[in-house]
């Protein structure tokens, strides 16, 4: 059984003491590949360092996270834009809108988000969308672009049924599910059946949002096994079938070349 963690920040300082052992643990758990979304200008060197250590095991995405959008966002975007001329990236991200922590820079967040969507259209790259208490704003920005030109994933989906229906109306987008789905009072479980198998992705968002039974601790890629098992139970399918379907989805969206010969037939 292979899994792909489509969203991890394992390059962050929370892993400085035991990053290598965390990577080994993820490999032993059956996590075949990691995708690293960038955060801001300061995180770029850390992400590149991890890529240098594990060139075949990790892929990078480049973008400016909405909570990092401040008064200097255009300068940061300039640095990030130049990165695409230096090395290959599998996506533009993590980008989007976050109105949970601070609404001060809403206009700047929207400009940064739409600028980076423009880049994705120009470069034919998927986008990794962060949306927190901002679904209508995110949808409004996406609606400014042709449906056949935009693709990506709604990372760490946290919306309700109406938000899911709207998200799925964008035909080339997947839904990213992480450890939150294992939380006791989370309503996401009731929406899983509504997500088409070919549009489901698994992720950790580590070091955040560790699944049960590790909730409250630092999350890491190896823990995605718990999320996969929980989702498979909710959907009443074998976890190996879920693993293959979501791995194939990740390979298709992010243009990954992984050895899938040992995987069983998909959904």
Residues belonging to the binding site are 7, 9, 94, 130, 155, 205
Half-sphere exposure of 235 (CA within 13 A, CB side): 25
Query: What are the structure tokens assigned to 152, written together?
Result: 């990506």
Query: What are the structure tokens assigned to 43, written together?
Result: 């995180």
Task: Give yes or no for a contact between 132 and 99, defined as CB atoms under 8 angstroms apart.
Answer: yes
Phi and psi, residue 245, nearest 5°? -60, -45
DSSP for 129-153, please give it: EEEES-HHHHHHHHTTS-GGG--EE
Query: What are the structure tokens assigned to 112, written together?
Result: 């940064």
Listed in sequence order, the residues at least 6 apart from 9 whose beta carbon sits closer than 8 Å to its beta carbon are 36, 37, 39, 43, 205, 206, 207, 208
> What single-letter DSSP state applies at residue 264?
P
Q: Give the integer Cα–Cα distance in Å for 73 and 89.
A: 21
Task: Give yes or no for a contact between 8 and 63, defined as CB atoms under 8 angstroms apart.
Answer: no
Annotated binding site for a divalent metal cation: 7, 9, 94, 130, 155, 205
The structure tokens 């966002």 sit at 73
SS3 128: strand
Burial class (CB in 10 A: 0-12, 13-18, 19+), 258: middle
SS3 3: strand
């Amino acid at each position: 059984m292979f899994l792909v963690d489509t969203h991890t920040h394992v390059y962050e300082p929370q892993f400085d003491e035991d990053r290598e052992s965390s990577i080994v643990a993820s490999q032993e758990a059956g996590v075949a590949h990691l995708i690293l979304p960038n955060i801001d200008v300061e995180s770029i060197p850390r992400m590149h360092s991890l890529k240098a250590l594990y060139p075949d095991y990790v892929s990078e995405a480049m973008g400016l996270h909405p909570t990092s959008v401040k008064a200097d966002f255009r300068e940061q975007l300039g640095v990030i834009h130049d990165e695409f001329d230096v090395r290959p990236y599998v996506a533009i991200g993590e980008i989007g809108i976050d109105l949970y922590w601070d609404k001060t820079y809403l206009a700047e967040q929207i400009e940064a988000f739409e600028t980076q969507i423009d880049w994705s259209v120009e470069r034919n790259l998927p986008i990794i969308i962060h949306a927190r208490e901002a679904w209508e704003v995110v949808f409004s920005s996406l609606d400014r672009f042709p449906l056949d030109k935009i693709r990506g994933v709604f990372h760490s989906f946290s919306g309700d049924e109406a938000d899911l229906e709207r998200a799925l109306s964008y035909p080339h987008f997947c839904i990213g599910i992480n450890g939150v789905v294992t939380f006791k009072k989370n309503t996401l479980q009731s929406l899983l059946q509504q997500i088409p198998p070919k549009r489901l992705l698994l992720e950790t968002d580590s070091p955040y949002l560790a699944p049960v039974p590790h909730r409250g601790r630092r999350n890491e890629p190896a823990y995605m096994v718990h999320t996969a098992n929980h989702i498979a139970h909710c959907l009443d399918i074998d976890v190996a079938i879920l693993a293959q379907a979501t791995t194939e989805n990740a390979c298709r969206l992010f243009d990954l070349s992984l050895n899938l010969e040992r995987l069983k037939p998909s959904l």
